[in-house]
Structure 1
């Protein structure tokens, strides 16, 4: 270990460093002020307890009685002590013009003294009263300003100075990582083959810049990673730095946004200064939409975010493209970014990191499983099929949940059962052990779930039923029916979407067919049905009335499914009527399927009540019997 590294470690252990500097300077100032304030309160209080203030007549009587031992005669008061019961007591009294005082003291053999007056020089008095306080204040303010600017003489201190309350004025909070034995590489990133292929060129440029300079080619200055949360954007940026074996600067966009205008811009300047000194390197800005939002609707001309964005644009234009500083940024909201930030020469390349497909999910599961002790016969393909729409973070969570379950059950390794249960936990929540349904509620839930499964099984082209359960979960579900596609599904026909509407309506239809009444158990089904039917009419061009006219647009592709209407009120009413018509028709046809299969409905529901959970294989065996 180098000497400088040892000193850094020593500072960390002793509390010295960035936090230690802040504590030693600012906290010491506060501590001194508190001590001075306390002494100002404490000293008079203690003094008042030791010295008794009495009238001057008491002093005269005590002198005449011979109990006074010594007297201090001051300008405005008289202080003396007496011996009472072997204890010394101090007194003070306001001075009175008494010409006989000295004579009385001498008669009673009292030792007395008075203060010696020495006139103070006017120059010394002026220095002590005015110059010294201003000098101290000036020194403290200078010390404070050097702290706030992050260095000396207004310069940025790159060595790691302090700040005010943990805030570094003008100093970036970027975390610097360098190549190490556990650095991330492309082998740690799965399910994003297209993104890796696009970034391999950046890695090659950082490794071999000469062959690009030979023909005048330059690597992209900025690469923007966009995609839903949990798809591995930060991991991908780390992998690029690991593959290229270059320093990696990581900072979140929110760390640029400060309370005072100008501080964010100063942090941007410092970040790029550090990056240029460490070039070639990777600078990664996570959640760049925090500072890179569009300025179209921003009326402020002195906004902190806008100044920070302007400084970022200036710095990206200022550094030389062949120096080897590559800016990687990540966001879930690319539509909100300023157009000036996305133009060529700044962020030249935009790489989409979408949710993984079936093959990608299986690869991600295998990558995360390397860190766990897995059983010999794990079916990763099945878990991948059961988790359609899951992100890489979701899949990592599923593996970890399986590990936690294996530990709880005292297993020596993770089994397929652990993984299957972890999928249920992530999708529907933990089992609610204390939520016990009554016998009547169990019957209703059982018929409800069999209604879903039976309608799905009677259709052609629907995903096979994999599991049916009536065990309550912490998500609020009293039971659920799991369908798993046999392969990856990217496109859905109008009939397939309509089949989904019928399957979702099967639960409520079963309640009506068997019990002649409806319950609140279909609330989530209704929500999903409305969403699918509305999308068919307003987004997918599957409407008989509007055809291929788009009525709604998504406001945010990656963070939510919220949409915005682009039509008049009259058109919106017609769209609502068509959505209602679709849902009603699907509900009616689901009811007809169940009435025509009433015997199987009863048989399957009774079997589910007894078993609580049945597999798709058991379901189909009874159905086809």
Structure 2
């Protein structure tokens, strides 16, 4: 069967059953011919380009042993009319063909082959003769050309129309390509039936052969349809397999440890989300039950707990306040530095009252889409009203309730806070919804938000005092294995300024250190190590420092310690070290004996003198040419104190008791006076430190040598060295 593959969907293939049968019979006869005949045929085909192309086409049909002349004889026998026509045409030029002179053509290719090279393309004939053979004539009459090559690309409407127009155009007579040997291209079914009947009549094909021709036509059509159906079935099966694999992959991912099971990060992150998306930009909020958090868990904030106790009573028994006509504040604002327990207090309120707790951070309301913040505010309050009585806690309130400003960069930034103000105004009296907000910067809040009727109750949560720190340390020390000899009060007196979060971190760091050292319990040594790590930074023992830099660091830190020890109003020394910690090569830690609620002028000047001690020591010991950059942070601290004394604390006689916080509103003369007074304070402090170090040069040298030997000294060891005692017991 002859077939032709094209980019157009094949609809009909025309087999020549009787021709193929004859070809196979002829092939068998050719196979019995002598080897000499085959050799001569091969030599002739190598010399003749036309015979080479014909042999290539016959090899595709499995008839490689069949010659071109034998094929022409067979076609002439099957189609006598065409055979006679060919014979007549060839007889015109056959006589005396050898004696005809030919003129040279413009190209070498045409001189050699008799035709121009441009004819060798997609429309070049298989049998490149000057006169077509009967087989060429029958294929030309069938009009099964041009052959369209397959190409990849996007299927567009414009391309489809252009393809259809070129397909429906009447074909111009021309050659045909070698690919016709793989099949015949057909187009419209109705036209092909007409053309087939005309062909049978015009070529005078016998009636017996016409039936065979039509039978082959039908067989080819059915085979092409079956091929198309098999292709579609294969595509369906492929899609089904891919879908099954995709679903199996999703199921496998859901069973992996990362995406499923207890402790799974993905599931836990979904469970920890307060806002669950419902549709579009809308979202809802899930409440949390705080049954395990009560006021017993809050340590070091007794005043704040007492203020919030009445809120708990209202949530437990609101009728107690309704009978007397009283009403509780709608909003409670918790103000204090970070780590003091504001969030823990809000959770304890909900836990004590046993009501739902709605938690939201101020940064969760606003996102990239306009209106998301206002929508989430509405959803939060709608859910809270539906589950009243309850507690709404908004952490970092200043990020959503900051002062409203006109900004072209953020024209919609006020929508969220406006919605928050509207929702708080919409509460009915004693509706059972308590709003608690927490912030570190109450001055940044909008005035409309903190007015009476909204956040009209403000509770301050300061850092704990010695008593509070002791309670917090006892609470966290109960959760670890600690030496019974450890006294929380001693640690509390040495952690002035620590918040509740800092103390929790201290106990945790001590437990980790004990575990690393392989100890069974936490001792005072691990707690001191954790305190130094928080105050001075982690040790960097891997840093290699040469001896010269070690000496400079030792004398620098000894200068700080000498000035602090011999200055009356300076803070007591906690520790001195030349071990690199954090970003520094050495450090002198000082802690007050008691909590300081305010500082005197003498104490501020003493802090400045201690800061100057390091640079003064370098200058005295190594000379002015060998001072280092290690005193930059000391100068920053001293300059900050002097500036605050002049501009904020009213401790300057020349400028008086007046604050100068906004430099843009100051005259150049005033700014010059301020700088002059600051410079004077710093210079006087430098001179005091110089005089003190020169008068205690012996103690200074002894302390530096001890630091070079031991690297770290505590307060008792420093005192022994300055008193002239040795540290043999260490």
TM-score w.r.t. the length of structure 2 is: 0.64
Provide the rounded CA distance (Å) in 1 between the counterparts of 2:607 and 2:447.
Answer: 40
- Which position in structure 1 is the counterpart of 2:216? 110
Determine which of 405, 416, 422 is the counterpart of 2:524. Answer: 416
Describe the superposition over 1:199-218 as per-residue Cα deviations: whole angstroms up to 9, x where unpaired: 11111111222221111011
1:596 aligns with 2:691: no
Query: Which of 636, 639, 651 lines up with 1:530 in the alignment?
Result: 639
CA distance in 1, matches of 2:9, 2:397: 77
Corresponding residue for residue 196 of structure 2: 101
Q: In the alignment, what sits opposite 1:387?
A: 495
Given candidates 581, 606, 617, the residue that maps to 1:499 is 606
Partner of 2:595: 488
The yes-or-no answer on 1:615 pairing with 2:714 is yes
Q: How has the CA–CA distance of structure 1 residues 424 and 302 changed in structure 2, closer, same or farther, with 3 Å as cutoff?
A: closer
Shift of 1:458: 0.9
Residue 550 of structure 1 deviates from its aligned partner by: 0.5
Between the two proteins, the alignment pairs up a number of residues equal to 500
Deviation at 1:192, TM superposition (A): 1.9
* Distance verdict in 2 for CA 1:65–1:401, change over 3 Å: farther
Report if the CA contact (8 A) 1:261-1:302 is conserved: no
Return 5+ residue gaps in structure 1 as ranges: 1-49, 78-88, 116-158, 554-563
C-alpha distance in structure 1 between counterparts of 2:653 and 2:459, whole Å? 37
How far apart are 1:345 and its partner, in Å? 0.8
Q: Is the 8 A contact 1:453 1:481 kept in 2?
A: yes
- Which of 506, 521, 525 does residue 630 from structure 2 map onto? 521
TM-superposed deviation, 1:305: 3.4
Counterpart Cα distance in 1 of 2:350 and 2:514: 35
Query: Are 1:469 and 1:614, in contact at CA under 8 Å, matched by a contact in 2?
Result: yes
Distance 1:514 1:170, change over 3 A: same
The secondary structure found in structure 1 opposite 2:287 is: strand
1:209-224 pair list within 5 angstroms: 209-224=318-333
Aligned-pair CA distance for 1:63: 7.1
1:247 to 356, 373, 378: 356
Question: Cα distance, 1:54 vs. partner?
Answer: 8.8
Match of 2:506 among 386, 398, 401: 398
Structure 1 residues 366, 110: closer, same or farther in 2, change over 3 A? same
Cα displacement string for residues 59-107 of structure 1 (whole angstroms, at most 9, x for unaligned residues): 6686784499xxxx9x979xxxxxxxxxxx8875556966442566744
Distance 2:275 2:576 in 1: 59
Note closer, same or farther for the CA distance 1:287–1:161 as it changes in structure 2 (3 Å cut): closer
Q: TM-score, normalised by structure 1?
A: 0.74
Partner residue of 1:624?
A: 723
Structure 2 match to 1:35: none
Correspondence 1:258 to 2:367: yes
Give 3-state SS (helix, strand or coil) of 1:330's partner: strand
Q: Deviations over 1:305-340 (max 9, x none)?
A: 322222221211112221211000112222222211
CA distance in 2, matches of 1:367, 1:468: 30
Q: Quick check: which one's strand share is greater?
A: 1
1:126-525 to 2 correspondences below 5 Å: 162-163=277-278, 169-172=281-284, 174-180=285-291, 183-295=292-404, 297-298=405-406, 303-473=411-581, 475-516=582-623, 517-525=626-634
Question: How has the CA–CA distance of structure 1 residues 213 and 573 changed in structure 2, closer, same or farther, with 3 Å as cutoff?
Answer: same
Distance 1:509 1:321 in 2: 67
Q: 1:435-460 deviations in whole A, cap 9, x for unaligned?
A: 12111111111111111111111111
Task: Identify if the C-alpha distance between structure 1 residues 95 and 545 changes in structure 2 by more than 3 Å, giving closer, same or farther.
Answer: same
Residue in 2 aligned with 1:547?
A: 656
Flag structure 2 segments of 5+ consecutive residues without an equivalent. 22-60, 62-143, 145-163, 169-181, 201-209, 223-273, 725-730
Structure 2 match to 1:567: 666
Mark the CA change 1:460 to 1:162 in structure 2 (over 3 Å): closer, same or farther. closer
Superposed CA offset, 1:571-601 (max 9, x none): 1221112111111111111111111111111
Tell me how far apart the structure 2 counterparts of residues 307 and 54 of structure 1 sit (CA, whole Å). 61
Residues 386-429 of structure 1: CA distance to partner in whole angstroms, max 9, x if unpaired? 33333222222222111111111111222111111111212222
In 2, are the aligned partners of 1:186 and 1:196 still within 8 Å (CA)? Answer: yes
| Structure index of larger Rg | 2
Aligned-CA RMSD value: 3.2
Q: In 2, Cα distance between the equivalents of 1:513 and 1:314?
A: 67
Classify 1:62/1:421 alpha carbon distance in 2 versus 1 (closer, same or farther; 3 Å): farther
